[in-house]
Structure 1
Amino acid sequence: MIRILIVEDSQVIALLLKAIFEAESDMQVVGHAKNGREGVQLAHELKPDLITMDIRMPEMDGFEATRMIMANDPAPVVVISSGVDDEELQTTFRAIEEGALSVIEKPPGFAHPDFEVVRRELVETVRAMAEVKVIRRRSLSRTTGTGSYALTMQQPAKDYELVAIGCSTGGPQVLQKMLSLLPADFPVPVVVTQHISKGFIGGLVSWLAGNTTLKIKQAEQGEQLQAATVYFAPDDQHLQVIRRGSKLVVKLSADAPENGFRPSASVMLKSVATACASRAVGVLLTGMGVDGADGLLALRQAGGHTLVQDQESAVVYGMPGAAIALDAVDQVVAMDGMATYLCRVVGK
Protein backbone atom coordinates (compact mmCIF):
# COMPACT_ATOMS: atom_id res chain seq x y z
CA MET A 1 0.00 0.00 0.00
CA ILE A 2 1.36 3.43 -0.99
CA ARG A 3 0.86 5.83 1.93
CA ILE A 4 0.40 9.39 0.60
CA LEU A 5 0.59 12.75 2.36
CA ILE A 6 -1.21 15.59 0.54
CA VAL A 7 0.19 19.09 1.12
CA GLU A 8 -2.38 21.46 -0.39
CA ASP A 9 -4.06 24.62 0.92
CA SER A 10 -7.19 24.22 -1.24
CA GLN A 11 -9.71 21.92 0.43
CA VAL A 12 -11.40 21.32 -2.94
CA ILE A 13 -8.16 20.18 -4.62
CA ALA A 14 -7.18 18.11 -1.59
CA LEU A 15 -10.52 16.27 -1.65
CA LEU A 16 -10.18 15.71 -5.40
CA LEU A 17 -6.67 14.28 -4.96
CA LYS A 18 -7.88 12.07 -2.12
CA ALA A 19 -10.71 10.72 -4.28
CA ILE A 20 -8.31 10.01 -7.16
CA PHE A 21 -5.76 8.20 -4.99
CA GLU A 22 -8.19 6.20 -2.90
CA ALA A 23 -9.95 4.92 -6.01
CA GLU A 24 -6.72 2.95 -6.55
CA SER A 25 -6.45 -0.34 -4.67
CA ASP A 26 -2.79 0.22 -3.79
CA MET A 27 -3.02 3.83 -2.51
CA GLN A 28 -4.05 5.34 0.82
CA VAL A 29 -4.08 9.01 1.87
CA VAL A 30 -2.70 9.13 5.41
CA GLY A 31 -2.72 12.88 5.96
CA HIS A 32 -3.54 16.34 4.62
CA ALA A 33 -1.48 19.43 5.42
CA LYS A 34 -2.97 22.85 4.64
CA ASN A 35 0.37 24.65 4.32
CA GLY A 36 4.06 23.91 4.00
CA ARG A 37 4.75 24.14 7.71
CA GLU A 38 2.12 21.52 8.49
CA GLY A 39 3.52 19.45 5.63
CA VAL A 40 6.99 19.40 7.17
CA GLN A 41 5.53 18.38 10.53
CA LEU A 42 3.32 15.62 9.12
CA ALA A 43 6.13 14.30 6.94
CA HIS A 44 8.13 13.81 10.14
CA GLU A 45 5.24 12.26 12.09
CA LEU A 46 3.66 10.05 9.42
CA LYS A 47 6.72 8.96 7.39
CA PRO A 48 4.64 8.66 4.19
CA ASP A 49 5.79 6.72 1.14
CA LEU A 50 5.15 9.77 -1.04
CA ILE A 51 4.20 13.44 -0.67
CA THR A 52 2.23 15.54 -3.14
CA MET A 53 3.28 19.18 -2.78
CA ASP A 54 1.40 22.34 -3.71
CA ILE A 55 3.60 25.37 -4.43
CA ARG A 56 1.66 28.50 -3.48
CA MET A 57 0.57 28.14 0.17
CA PRO A 58 0.33 30.37 3.26
CA GLU A 59 2.97 30.35 6.05
CA MET A 60 5.45 28.26 4.02
CA ASP A 61 5.47 27.62 0.26
CA GLY A 62 6.14 24.33 -1.46
CA PHE A 63 9.75 25.15 -2.24
CA GLU A 64 10.71 25.76 1.38
CA ALA A 65 8.67 22.77 2.56
CA THR A 66 10.39 20.50 0.03
CA ARG A 67 13.79 21.82 1.06
CA MET A 68 13.12 21.10 4.75
CA ILE A 69 11.59 17.68 4.11
CA MET A 70 14.50 16.59 1.95
CA ALA A 71 16.97 17.76 4.58
CA ASN A 72 15.27 16.11 7.55
CA ASP A 73 12.76 13.41 6.55
CA PRO A 74 13.52 12.50 2.92
CA ALA A 75 10.61 11.10 0.94
CA PRO A 76 9.60 11.14 -2.72
CA VAL A 77 7.96 14.50 -3.46
CA VAL A 78 5.72 15.11 -6.48
CA VAL A 79 4.94 18.78 -7.07
CA ILE A 80 1.34 19.46 -8.09
CA SER A 81 1.16 22.96 -9.50
CA SER A 82 -1.21 25.02 -11.60
CA GLY A 83 1.78 26.65 -13.31
CA VAL A 84 -0.35 29.74 -13.90
CA ASP A 85 2.40 32.36 -13.87
CA ASP A 86 6.16 32.82 -14.05
CA GLU A 87 6.54 33.22 -10.28
CA GLU A 88 4.86 29.91 -9.53
CA LEU A 89 6.77 28.15 -12.30
CA GLN A 90 10.08 29.43 -10.95
CA THR A 91 9.20 28.23 -7.44
CA THR A 92 8.09 24.89 -8.87
CA PHE A 93 11.45 24.26 -10.49
CA ARG A 94 13.33 25.47 -7.42
CA ALA A 95 11.50 22.64 -5.61
CA ILE A 96 12.74 20.25 -8.31
CA GLU A 97 16.24 21.58 -7.68
CA GLU A 98 15.84 20.80 -3.99
CA GLY A 99 14.98 17.17 -4.70
CA ALA A 100 11.32 16.93 -5.77
CA LEU A 101 11.07 14.21 -8.39
CA SER A 102 8.39 15.37 -10.77
CA VAL A 103 5.91 18.11 -11.55
CA ILE A 104 2.30 17.42 -12.50
CA GLU A 105 -0.51 19.83 -13.30
CA LYS A 106 -3.36 20.12 -10.81
CA PRO A 107 -6.24 17.88 -11.91
CA PRO A 108 -9.36 19.62 -13.21
CA GLY A 109 -12.83 18.64 -12.03
CA PHE A 110 -14.33 15.24 -12.84
CA ALA A 111 -16.44 16.73 -15.66
CA HIS A 112 -13.49 18.34 -17.45
CA PRO A 113 -12.57 16.70 -20.79
CA ASP A 114 -8.90 16.47 -19.76
CA PHE A 115 -9.62 14.91 -16.37
CA GLU A 116 -8.92 11.31 -17.32
CA VAL A 117 -5.60 12.14 -19.02
CA VAL A 118 -4.39 14.15 -16.01
CA ARG A 119 -5.70 11.53 -13.56
CA ARG A 120 -3.87 8.72 -15.33
CA GLU A 121 -0.60 10.67 -15.46
CA LEU A 122 -0.91 11.54 -11.78
CA VAL A 123 -1.61 7.98 -10.66
CA GLU A 124 1.14 6.47 -12.81
CA THR A 125 3.67 9.05 -11.62
CA VAL A 126 2.80 8.53 -7.95
CA ARG A 127 3.01 4.76 -8.35
CA ALA A 128 6.45 4.97 -9.99
CA MET A 129 7.83 7.59 -7.59
CA ALA A 130 6.74 5.67 -4.51
CA GLU A 131 9.23 2.96 -5.52
CA VAL A 132 12.08 5.43 -5.06
CA LYS A 133 12.48 4.68 -1.39
CA VAL A 134 15.28 6.99 -0.29
CA ILE A 135 15.51 10.42 -1.86
CA ARG A 136 17.86 13.02 -0.46
CA ARG A 137 18.83 16.44 -1.69
CA ARG A 138 21.51 15.97 -4.37
CA SER A 139 21.14 12.23 -3.81
CA LEU A 140 21.50 11.46 -7.51
CA SER A 141 25.21 12.32 -7.42
CA ARG A 142 27.40 9.35 -8.15
CA THR A 143 31.03 8.71 -8.88
CA THR A 144 31.95 10.20 -12.21
CA GLY A 145 32.41 7.63 -14.93
CA THR A 146 30.55 5.10 -16.95
CA GLY A 147 28.13 2.49 -15.67
CA SER A 148 28.90 -1.11 -14.95
CA TYR A 149 27.30 -2.64 -18.03
CA ALA A 150 29.72 -4.49 -20.28
CA LEU A 151 28.59 -2.90 -23.53
CA THR A 152 30.80 -2.52 -26.59
CA MET A 153 31.57 1.10 -27.33
CA GLN A 154 32.05 2.10 -30.94
CA GLN A 155 34.95 4.41 -31.67
CA PRO A 156 33.55 7.98 -31.82
CA ALA A 157 34.14 9.59 -35.20
CA LYS A 158 34.80 13.01 -33.64
CA ASP A 159 32.81 14.76 -36.39
CA TYR A 160 29.36 14.71 -34.84
CA GLU A 161 27.00 17.54 -35.73
CA LEU A 162 24.15 17.04 -33.23
CA VAL A 163 23.29 15.64 -29.79
CA ALA A 164 19.69 14.44 -29.28
CA ILE A 165 18.37 13.76 -25.75
CA GLY A 166 15.15 12.11 -24.58
CA CYS A 167 13.99 12.04 -20.96
CA SER A 168 10.95 11.88 -18.72
CA THR A 169 10.54 11.55 -14.95
CA GLY A 170 13.66 12.77 -13.18
CA GLY A 171 14.91 14.41 -16.38
CA PRO A 172 14.91 18.05 -15.20
CA GLN A 173 17.41 17.31 -12.41
CA VAL A 174 19.76 15.46 -14.75
CA LEU A 175 19.46 18.10 -17.45
CA GLN A 176 20.26 20.83 -14.93
CA LYS A 177 23.43 19.10 -13.82
CA MET A 178 24.54 18.03 -17.29
CA LEU A 179 23.86 21.30 -19.09
CA SER A 180 25.47 23.36 -16.31
CA LEU A 181 28.73 21.49 -16.96
CA LEU A 182 28.80 21.91 -20.74
CA PRO A 183 31.01 24.78 -21.96
CA ALA A 184 29.59 27.97 -23.47
CA ASP A 185 31.21 27.06 -26.80
CA PHE A 186 29.86 23.50 -26.99
CA PRO A 187 30.51 22.79 -30.69
CA VAL A 188 27.16 21.26 -31.76
CA PRO A 189 23.45 21.94 -31.19
CA VAL A 190 21.44 19.87 -28.70
CA VAL A 191 17.78 18.89 -29.18
CA VAL A 192 15.72 17.64 -26.24
CA THR A 193 12.36 15.95 -25.84
CA GLN A 194 11.35 16.06 -22.17
CA HIS A 195 8.03 14.56 -21.12
CA ILE A 196 6.40 17.11 -18.84
CA SER A 197 2.85 18.21 -18.07
CA LYS A 198 1.37 20.72 -20.46
CA GLY A 199 2.13 24.29 -19.48
CA PHE A 200 5.43 23.60 -17.74
CA ILE A 201 7.95 23.47 -20.58
CA GLY A 202 8.40 27.25 -20.56
CA GLY A 203 9.18 27.20 -16.86
CA LEU A 204 11.65 24.37 -17.34
CA VAL A 205 13.44 26.26 -20.12
CA SER A 206 13.64 29.44 -18.01
CA TRP A 207 14.95 27.53 -15.00
CA LEU A 208 17.59 25.69 -16.99
CA ALA A 209 18.66 28.91 -18.72
CA GLY A 210 19.68 30.23 -15.32
CA ASN A 211 21.89 27.21 -14.71
CA THR A 212 24.05 27.10 -17.82
CA THR A 213 26.09 29.30 -20.14
CA LEU A 214 24.47 27.64 -23.15
CA LYS A 215 21.50 29.23 -24.90
CA ILE A 216 18.30 27.38 -23.92
CA LYS A 217 15.06 27.83 -25.86
CA GLN A 218 11.92 26.19 -27.15
CA ALA A 219 12.32 25.06 -30.73
CA GLU A 220 10.59 27.08 -33.44
CA GLN A 221 9.28 25.87 -36.76
CA GLY A 222 11.88 26.08 -39.53
CA GLU A 223 14.74 27.52 -37.50
CA GLN A 224 18.28 26.46 -38.29
CA LEU A 225 20.05 24.62 -35.46
CA GLN A 226 23.07 26.43 -34.05
CA ALA A 227 25.99 25.19 -31.96
CA ALA A 228 25.99 25.88 -28.19
CA THR A 229 22.18 26.03 -28.21
CA VAL A 230 19.71 23.63 -26.60
CA TYR A 231 16.32 23.30 -28.29
CA PHE A 232 13.33 21.83 -26.39
CA ALA A 233 10.24 20.32 -27.98
CA PRO A 234 7.28 22.64 -27.25
CA ASP A 235 4.02 21.57 -25.64
CA ASP A 236 2.09 18.96 -27.61
CA GLN A 237 4.37 19.07 -30.68
CA HIS A 238 6.88 16.55 -31.96
CA LEU A 239 10.34 17.99 -32.50
CA GLN A 240 11.98 16.56 -35.62
CA VAL A 241 15.26 17.40 -37.33
CA ILE A 242 15.44 17.61 -41.11
CA ARG A 243 18.28 18.51 -43.46
CA ARG A 244 18.23 21.37 -45.92
CA GLY A 245 21.46 21.24 -47.83
CA SER A 246 24.24 21.30 -45.26
CA LYS A 247 21.98 22.80 -42.57
CA LEU A 248 19.92 21.08 -39.88
CA VAL A 249 16.46 22.58 -39.42
CA VAL A 250 13.62 22.18 -36.91
CA LYS A 251 10.37 20.61 -38.01
CA LEU A 252 7.48 20.73 -35.53
CA SER A 253 4.38 18.62 -36.05
CA ALA A 254 1.13 17.68 -34.37
CA ASP A 255 1.21 14.14 -35.78
CA ALA A 256 -0.32 11.37 -33.69
CA PRO A 257 1.38 10.56 -30.37
CA GLU A 258 3.99 7.82 -30.44
CA ASN A 259 4.42 5.46 -27.49
CA GLY A 260 1.67 7.50 -25.89
CA PHE A 261 3.55 10.82 -26.09
CA ARG A 262 3.54 14.02 -28.08
CA PRO A 263 6.27 15.20 -28.09
CA SER A 264 7.89 11.79 -28.44
CA ALA A 265 11.58 11.04 -28.00
CA SER A 266 11.23 8.22 -30.53
CA VAL A 267 9.90 10.56 -33.21
CA MET A 268 12.79 12.96 -32.58
CA LEU A 269 15.48 10.27 -32.59
CA LYS A 270 14.16 8.59 -35.73
CA SER A 271 14.26 11.93 -37.55
CA VAL A 272 17.83 12.44 -36.34
CA ALA A 273 18.76 8.99 -37.64
CA THR A 274 17.44 9.98 -41.06
CA ALA A 275 18.93 13.49 -41.12
CA CYS A 276 22.31 12.82 -39.50
CA ALA A 277 22.94 9.07 -39.54
CA SER A 278 26.45 8.44 -38.20
CA ARG A 279 27.02 12.09 -37.33
CA ALA A 280 24.65 12.24 -34.33
CA VAL A 281 24.85 11.24 -30.67
CA GLY A 282 21.62 9.97 -29.10
CA VAL A 283 21.01 9.95 -25.34
CA LEU A 284 18.20 8.54 -23.19
CA LEU A 285 18.04 9.70 -19.59
CA THR A 286 15.84 8.69 -16.66
CA GLY A 287 12.15 8.23 -17.40
CA MET A 288 9.08 6.04 -17.23
CA GLY A 289 7.95 3.90 -20.14
CA VAL A 290 9.67 2.90 -23.37
CA ASP A 291 9.53 6.08 -25.44
CA GLY A 292 12.82 6.72 -27.19
CA ALA A 293 14.08 3.14 -27.12
CA ASP A 294 13.15 2.28 -30.72
CA GLY A 295 14.33 5.72 -31.84
CA LEU A 296 17.70 5.12 -30.23
CA LEU A 297 17.86 1.76 -32.01
CA ALA A 298 17.16 3.47 -35.34
CA LEU A 299 19.99 5.91 -34.68
CA ARG A 300 22.41 3.15 -33.72
CA GLN A 301 21.50 1.18 -36.85
CA ALA A 302 22.17 4.33 -38.90
CA GLY A 303 25.68 4.49 -37.44
CA GLY A 304 25.11 7.09 -34.75
CA HIS A 305 26.59 6.83 -31.26
CA THR A 306 24.04 5.94 -28.56
CA LEU A 307 24.19 6.13 -24.79
CA VAL A 308 21.91 5.94 -21.78
CA GLN A 309 22.08 7.04 -18.16
CA ASP A 310 23.12 4.33 -15.72
CA GLN A 311 20.56 2.65 -13.48
CA GLU A 312 22.16 3.73 -10.21
CA SER A 313 21.75 7.44 -10.89
CA ALA A 314 18.39 7.26 -12.70
CA VAL A 315 15.18 8.00 -10.78
CA VAL A 316 13.23 5.64 -13.07
CA TYR A 317 14.99 3.23 -15.44
CA GLY A 318 12.15 2.59 -17.87
CA MET A 319 13.45 4.40 -20.95
CA PRO A 320 17.15 3.52 -20.61
CA GLY A 321 16.31 -0.06 -19.65
CA ALA A 322 14.02 -0.47 -22.65
CA ALA A 323 16.80 0.75 -24.95
CA ILE A 324 19.26 -1.74 -23.45
CA ALA A 325 16.71 -4.52 -23.95
CA LEU A 326 16.53 -3.61 -27.66
CA ASP A 327 20.34 -3.67 -28.00
CA ALA A 328 20.15 0.00 -28.94
CA VAL A 329 22.96 1.21 -26.65
CA ASP A 330 26.70 1.65 -27.22
CA GLN A 331 27.53 3.02 -23.77
CA VAL A 332 26.01 3.45 -20.29
CA VAL A 333 27.14 6.60 -18.51
CA ALA A 334 26.64 7.79 -14.94
CA MET A 335 24.88 11.13 -14.51
CA ASP A 336 27.97 12.85 -13.11
CA GLY A 337 30.01 11.72 -16.10
CA MET A 338 27.53 12.63 -18.84
CA ALA A 339 28.79 16.16 -19.59
CA THR A 340 32.44 15.08 -19.64
CA TYR A 341 31.60 12.15 -21.88
CA LEU A 342 29.68 14.30 -24.36
CA CYS A 343 32.49 16.86 -24.52
CA ARG A 344 34.99 14.10 -25.24
CA VAL A 345 32.81 12.49 -27.89
CA VAL A 346 32.13 15.70 -29.83
CA GLY A 347 35.76 16.73 -29.55
CA LYS A 348 35.44 19.59 -27.07
Structure 2
Amino acid sequence: MTKLRVLVVEDSLTVRMYLCELLESDPAFELVGQAEDGKQAIELCLALRPDVISLDMMMPVMTGLAATEYIMAYCPTPILVVSSSVNRGELFRTYEALAAGALDVIEKPLPGQDHWGDHYLAMLKLVAKIKVVTHLRGRRAAQDASPIAPCAPASPRQTMRLVALGASTGGPSALVEVLGGLSADFPLPLLVVIHIAEPFGHAFVDWLDDHCVLDVRLAVARGVVLAAPGLHLQVRGG
Protein backbone atom coordinates (compact mmCIF):
# COMPACT_ATOMS: atom_id res chain seq x y z
CA MET A 1 0.00 0.00 0.00
CA THR A 2 1.32 3.43 -0.95
CA LYS A 3 1.58 5.63 2.11
CA LEU A 4 0.44 9.25 2.21
CA ARG A 5 3.49 11.46 2.68
CA VAL A 6 2.73 14.21 5.20
CA LEU A 7 4.52 17.44 6.12
CA VAL A 8 3.56 18.79 9.57
CA VAL A 9 3.88 22.55 10.10
CA GLU A 10 3.29 23.72 13.68
CA ASP A 11 5.21 26.17 15.89
CA SER A 12 4.13 24.58 19.19
CA LEU A 13 6.52 21.74 19.95
CA THR A 14 3.92 19.98 22.10
CA VAL A 15 1.23 20.05 19.44
CA ARG A 16 3.72 19.20 16.69
CA MET A 17 4.96 16.12 18.53
CA TYR A 18 1.38 15.01 19.16
CA LEU A 19 0.51 15.29 15.46
CA CYS A 20 3.66 13.44 14.48
CA GLU A 21 2.90 10.65 16.96
CA LEU A 22 -0.57 10.26 15.44
CA LEU A 23 0.88 9.95 11.96
CA GLU A 24 3.58 7.51 12.99
CA SER A 25 0.97 5.30 14.70
CA ASP A 26 -1.00 4.85 11.47
CA PRO A 27 0.56 2.67 8.73
CA ALA A 28 -1.34 4.64 6.07
CA PHE A 29 0.96 7.65 6.60
CA GLU A 30 4.62 8.52 6.25
CA LEU A 31 5.86 11.56 8.14
CA VAL A 32 8.33 13.14 5.71
CA GLY A 33 9.11 16.39 7.51
CA GLN A 34 8.39 18.88 10.29
CA ALA A 35 8.47 22.67 10.19
CA GLU A 36 7.92 25.30 12.89
CA ASP A 37 7.20 28.32 10.69
CA GLY A 38 5.89 29.19 7.25
CA LYS A 39 9.32 29.77 5.71
CA GLN A 40 10.47 26.28 6.66
CA ALA A 41 7.17 24.92 5.36
CA ILE A 42 7.83 26.36 1.92
CA GLU A 43 11.41 25.11 1.82
CA LEU A 44 10.42 21.57 2.86
CA CYS A 45 7.44 21.49 0.51
CA LEU A 46 9.67 22.36 -2.45
CA ALA A 47 12.31 19.83 -1.39
CA LEU A 48 10.13 16.92 -0.27
CA ARG A 49 6.97 17.28 -2.39
CA PRO A 50 4.60 15.81 0.23
CA ASP A 51 1.17 14.44 -0.65
CA VAL A 52 -0.54 16.61 1.97
CA ILE A 53 0.40 19.35 4.46
CA SER A 54 -0.90 19.82 8.00
CA LEU A 55 -0.58 23.59 8.52
CA ASP A 56 -0.88 25.89 11.51
CA MET A 57 -1.94 29.50 10.87
CA MET A 58 -0.32 31.68 13.53
CA MET A 59 3.46 31.15 13.35
CA PRO A 60 6.65 33.23 13.61
CA VAL A 61 8.78 34.33 10.63
CA MET A 62 5.98 33.62 8.10
CA THR A 63 2.32 32.95 8.82
CA GLY A 64 0.33 30.00 7.58
CA LEU A 65 -1.59 32.32 5.25
CA ALA A 66 1.59 33.58 3.56
CA ALA A 67 2.90 30.02 3.29
CA THR A 68 -0.39 28.85 1.75
CA GLU A 69 -0.33 31.59 -0.87
CA TYR A 70 3.23 30.73 -1.89
CA ILE A 71 2.76 26.96 -1.87
CA MET A 72 -0.42 27.07 -3.92
CA ALA A 73 1.22 29.39 -6.44
CA TYR A 74 4.52 27.53 -6.89
CA CYS A 75 4.11 24.00 -5.48
CA PRO A 76 0.37 23.19 -5.32
CA THR A 77 -0.23 20.69 -2.51
CA PRO A 78 -3.37 19.70 -0.57
CA ILE A 79 -3.40 21.64 2.71
CA LEU A 80 -5.36 20.93 5.88
CA VAL A 81 -5.35 23.94 8.22
CA VAL A 82 -5.13 23.00 11.91
CA SER A 83 -6.00 26.15 13.81
CA SER A 84 -6.77 27.33 17.32
CA SER A 85 -7.82 30.77 16.08
CA VAL A 86 -10.74 32.19 18.02
CA ASN A 87 -10.71 35.96 17.55
CA ARG A 88 -12.15 37.63 14.47
CA GLY A 89 -8.85 38.71 12.94
CA GLU A 90 -7.24 35.28 13.22
CA LEU A 91 -10.37 33.56 11.91
CA PHE A 92 -10.35 35.86 8.90
CA ARG A 93 -6.75 34.81 8.16
CA THR A 94 -7.94 31.21 8.15
CA TYR A 95 -10.66 32.06 5.61
CA GLU A 96 -8.09 33.89 3.48
CA ALA A 97 -6.00 30.71 3.49
CA LEU A 98 -9.03 28.72 2.32
CA ALA A 99 -9.59 31.29 -0.42
CA ALA A 100 -5.91 30.96 -1.37
CA GLY A 101 -6.28 27.22 -1.94
CA ALA A 102 -6.15 25.43 1.42
CA LEU A 103 -8.81 22.73 1.33
CA ASP A 104 -10.26 22.47 4.83
CA VAL A 105 -9.80 23.50 8.44
CA ILE A 106 -10.16 21.77 11.79
CA GLU A 107 -9.73 23.09 15.31
CA LYS A 108 -6.67 22.09 17.31
CA PRO A 109 -7.26 19.37 19.90
CA LEU A 110 -8.64 20.34 23.30
CA PRO A 111 -8.32 18.36 26.55
CA GLY A 112 -10.79 15.49 26.68
CA GLN A 113 -11.30 15.18 22.91
CA ASP A 114 -10.61 11.46 22.79
CA HIS A 115 -11.53 10.98 19.13
CA TRP A 116 -9.82 14.08 17.76
CA GLY A 117 -6.87 12.06 16.44
CA ASP A 118 -9.13 9.79 14.39
CA HIS A 119 -10.86 12.84 12.91
CA TYR A 120 -7.52 14.48 12.10
CA LEU A 121 -6.20 11.44 10.25
CA ALA A 122 -9.48 11.01 8.39
CA MET A 123 -9.37 14.66 7.27
CA LEU A 124 -5.80 14.28 6.02
CA LYS A 125 -6.86 11.25 3.95
CA LEU A 126 -9.80 13.21 2.56
CA VAL A 127 -7.92 16.33 1.48
CA ALA A 128 -5.07 14.26 0.05
CA LYS A 129 -7.52 12.79 -2.47
CA ILE A 130 -8.44 16.19 -3.88
CA LYS A 131 -6.59 17.35 -6.96
CA VAL A 132 -5.22 20.86 -6.50
CA VAL A 133 -4.06 23.27 -9.17
CA THR A 134 -1.87 26.36 -9.26
CA HIS A 135 -3.80 29.02 -7.38
CA LEU A 136 -2.51 32.53 -8.05
CA ARG A 137 -4.25 35.00 -5.79
CA GLY A 138 -3.76 38.22 -7.70
CA ARG A 139 -5.69 41.26 -6.58
CA ARG A 140 -5.30 42.54 -10.14
CA ALA A 141 -7.19 39.55 -11.49
CA ALA A 142 -10.03 40.22 -9.07
CA GLN A 143 -10.07 43.92 -9.93
CA ASP A 144 -9.97 43.32 -13.69
CA ALA A 145 -12.66 40.67 -13.69
CA SER A 146 -16.03 41.85 -14.93
CA PRO A 147 -19.01 41.21 -12.66
CA ILE A 148 -21.08 38.17 -13.57
CA ALA A 149 -24.07 39.31 -15.58
CA PRO A 150 -27.56 38.81 -14.15
CA CYS A 151 -29.44 35.76 -15.37
CA ALA A 152 -31.11 36.12 -18.74
CA PRO A 153 -34.92 36.31 -18.55
CA ALA A 154 -36.46 32.85 -18.57
CA SER A 155 -39.58 31.78 -20.38
CA PRO A 156 -42.83 31.81 -18.36
CA ARG A 157 -42.61 28.04 -17.88
CA GLN A 158 -38.99 28.26 -16.70
CA THR A 159 -39.09 31.20 -14.31
CA MET A 160 -36.23 30.90 -11.83
CA ARG A 161 -37.02 31.78 -8.23
CA LEU A 162 -33.69 31.25 -6.49
CA VAL A 163 -30.12 29.98 -6.85
CA ALA A 164 -28.74 27.27 -4.55
CA LEU A 165 -25.02 26.65 -4.11
CA GLY A 166 -23.46 23.72 -2.28
CA ALA A 167 -19.79 23.22 -1.48
CA SER A 168 -17.76 20.75 0.55
CA THR A 169 -14.02 20.35 1.14
CA GLY A 170 -12.17 22.98 -0.91
CA GLY A 171 -15.38 24.93 -1.43
CA PRO A 172 -14.61 28.31 0.21
CA SER A 173 -12.18 29.28 -2.56
CA ALA A 174 -14.76 28.64 -5.29
CA LEU A 175 -17.58 30.17 -3.27
CA VAL A 176 -15.85 33.51 -2.68
CA GLU A 177 -14.90 33.67 -6.38
CA VAL A 178 -18.50 33.14 -7.48
CA LEU A 179 -20.11 35.45 -4.93
CA GLY A 180 -17.42 38.10 -5.35
CA GLY A 181 -18.19 38.24 -9.07
CA LEU A 182 -21.90 38.97 -8.66
CA SER A 183 -23.18 42.51 -9.07
CA ALA A 184 -25.36 44.29 -6.53
CA ASP A 185 -28.40 43.99 -8.82
CA PHE A 186 -28.26 40.19 -9.09
CA PRO A 187 -32.00 39.46 -9.33
CA LEU A 188 -32.37 36.18 -7.42
CA PRO A 189 -31.92 35.13 -3.78
CA LEU A 190 -28.96 32.80 -3.17
CA LEU A 191 -29.00 29.91 -0.72
CA VAL A 192 -25.67 28.42 0.32
CA VAL A 193 -24.75 25.25 2.17
CA ILE A 194 -21.04 24.76 2.81
CA HIS A 195 -19.07 22.18 4.77
CA ILE A 196 -17.45 24.22 7.54
CA ALA A 197 -17.79 23.49 11.25
CA GLU A 198 -17.62 25.60 14.37
CA PRO A 199 -15.77 27.53 15.65
CA PHE A 200 -15.17 28.63 12.06
CA GLY A 201 -18.74 28.76 10.70
CA HIS A 202 -20.40 31.89 12.05
CA ALA A 203 -17.49 34.27 11.45
CA PHE A 204 -17.18 32.83 7.93
CA VAL A 205 -20.48 34.56 7.13
CA ASP A 206 -19.00 37.95 8.10
CA TRP A 207 -15.86 37.26 6.06
CA LEU A 208 -17.92 36.39 2.96
CA ASP A 209 -19.99 39.52 3.49
CA ASP A 210 -16.79 41.58 3.31
CA HIS A 211 -15.87 39.96 -0.01
CA CYS A 212 -19.01 40.56 -2.05
CA VAL A 213 -21.44 43.42 -2.65
CA LEU A 214 -24.47 41.30 -1.76
CA ASP A 215 -25.55 40.91 1.86
CA VAL A 216 -24.40 37.58 3.33
CA ARG A 217 -26.09 36.33 6.48
CA LEU A 218 -27.28 33.24 8.27
CA ALA A 219 -30.70 31.87 7.30
CA VAL A 220 -32.94 34.93 6.87
CA ALA A 221 -35.29 36.09 4.18
CA ARG A 222 -33.07 37.91 1.68
CA GLY A 223 -29.53 38.38 0.41
CA VAL A 224 -27.09 35.45 0.34
CA VAL A 225 -28.43 33.01 2.91
CA LEU A 226 -26.07 30.49 4.55
CA ALA A 227 -27.15 27.49 6.56
CA ALA A 228 -25.95 27.72 10.16
CA PRO A 229 -23.17 25.23 11.04
CA GLY A 230 -24.56 21.83 11.99
CA LEU A 231 -28.04 22.53 10.61
CA HIS A 232 -29.88 21.74 7.38
CA LEU A 233 -31.37 24.47 5.19
CA GLN A 234 -35.00 24.09 4.11
CA VAL A 235 -37.18 26.24 1.86
CA ARG A 236 -40.90 25.97 2.59
CA GLY A 237 -44.04 27.93 1.83
CA GLY A 238 -42.39 30.07 -0.85
The reply to whether TM is greater than 0.5 is yes
Among residues 5, 8, 12, which one is paired with 2:10 in the alignment? 8
Q: Is there any run of 5+ residues in structure 1 with no aligned partner, and where? A: 140-154, 249-348
In 2, Cα distance between the equivalents of 1:174 and 1:47? 25
CA RMSD of aligned residues (A): 2.1
Identify the residue that residue 342 of structure 1 maps to in structure 2.
none
SS at match of 2:192: strand
Offset at 1:156? 8.7
Q: Which residue type is aligned with residue 77 of structure 1? A: I
Between 1:161-170 and 1:208-217, the stretch displaced more is 161-170
Identify the residue that residue 137 of structure 1 maps to in structure 2.
135
SS at match of 2:217: strand
Distance 1:173 1:134, change over 3 A: closer
Identity of aligned residues (%): 37
| Number of aligned residues | 219
Among residues 222, 226, 231, which one is paired with 1:232 in the alignment? 226
Q: Is the 8 A contact 1:8 1:33 kept in 2?
A: yes
In 1, Cα distance between the equivalents of 2:13 and 2:224? 40
TM-score between the two structures when normalised by the length of structure 1: 0.58
1:41 lines up with 2:43 in the alignment? yes
Offset at 1:230? 0.8
Identify the residue that residue 328 of structure 1 maps to in structure 2.
none
The residue correspondences of 1:300-319 to structure 2 (distance < 5 A) are: none
1:187 lines up with 2:187 in the alignment? yes
Q: Is the 8 A contact 1:55 1:63 kept in 2?
A: yes
Among residues 110, 120, 123, which one is paired with 1:122 in the alignment? 120
SS at match of 2:71: helix
Between 1:181-190 and 1:30-39, the stretch displaced more is 181-190
In 2, Cα distance between the equivalents of 1:85 and 1:63? 16
In 2, Cα distance between the equivalents of 1:180 and 1:91? 18
Q: Is there any run of 5+ residues in structure 2 with no aligned partner, and where? A: 138-154
SS at match of 1:30: strand
The residue correspondences of 1:164-243 to structure 2 (distance < 5 A) are: 164-219=164-219, 223=220, 225-226=221-222, 229-243=223-237
In 2, Cα distance between the equivalents of 1:215 and 1:48? 39
Identify the residue that residue 58 of structure 1 maps to in structure 2.
60
In 2, Cα distance between the equivalents of 1:94 and 1:156? 41
Q: Is the 8 A contact 2:197 2:230 kept in 1?
A: no
TM-score between the two structures when normalised by the length of structure 2: 0.83
In 1, Cα distance between the equivalents of 2:207 and 2:163? 21
Distance 1:180 1:157, change over 3 A: farther
Q: Which residue type is aligned with residue 131 of structure 1? A: K
In 1, Cα distance between the equivalents of 2:51 and 2:226? 32
Q: Which residue type is aligned with residue 122 of structure 1? A: Y
The CA deviation string for residues 24-67 of structure 1, in whole angstroms up to 9 with x for no partner, is 22112111111111111111222111111111111111011111
Between 1:157-166 and 1:8-17, the stretch displaced more is 157-166
In 1, Cα distance between the equivalents of 2:156 and 2:60? 53
